Amino acid sequence: MQTMHLNHIKSVGILRPLQYIRAKNMMKIRPAKATDASVILKFIRELAEYEEALHCVNASEEDIVSSLFSEDSTAKAIICEVDNCPVGYAVYFFNYSTWLGKNGLYLEDLYVTPPFRSSGAGKLLMKTLANEAIEKGCGRFEWSVLHWNQPAIDCYYHIGAVEQSEWRIYRLTGEALHNFALES
């Protein structure tokens, strides 16, 4: 039986059962490199578009290179590839739990292109990070999800994650951040 080339699968936007098996068997995770900055930025924009927040993306390729790949970078990224073609990514960093007295791993972004959703790519990205958390002795692996993103919420419940509904996220950014920092 002839198998469909991956570029055709992506252009059609679907995975038939045999191609799904082929894609899953060819899936790999690797650390992102500075040369991935344009792909990472493309994924960031696609994720923002999905979240109806594309207007909030100010990052440039140069920003991605300097913030993820510089010597003093505190964040890291991994890429999921199928047939050497990027189909998803995750950006993460290490935080700290005073109650546990241990580092934690915080997942900032996870994104898989639409043709590869439900292919196992997202789960493989998550498992890779869970393994890194264990290898680094982290006490927890955390992330946030938008309240309306039910497919992601269902996935997280399925893997055993527990919602931390008693916490609220607060943020200072832009002018508010500068004003507060400089306030006497």
156 assigned to active site: yes
Pairwise CA distance, residues 168 & 88, whole Å: 28
Torsion, Cα 49 21 142 84, to 10 degrees, reads -70
Please identify which of the residues 50, 106, 156, 157 carries the catalytic annotation. 156
Q: What is the dihedral of CA 15, 16, 19, 24, to 10 degrees?
A: 60
Please check whether residue 85 is in contact with residue 27, taking contact to mean a CB–CB distance below 8 angstroms.
Answer: no
**Residue numbers annotated as active site:** 156
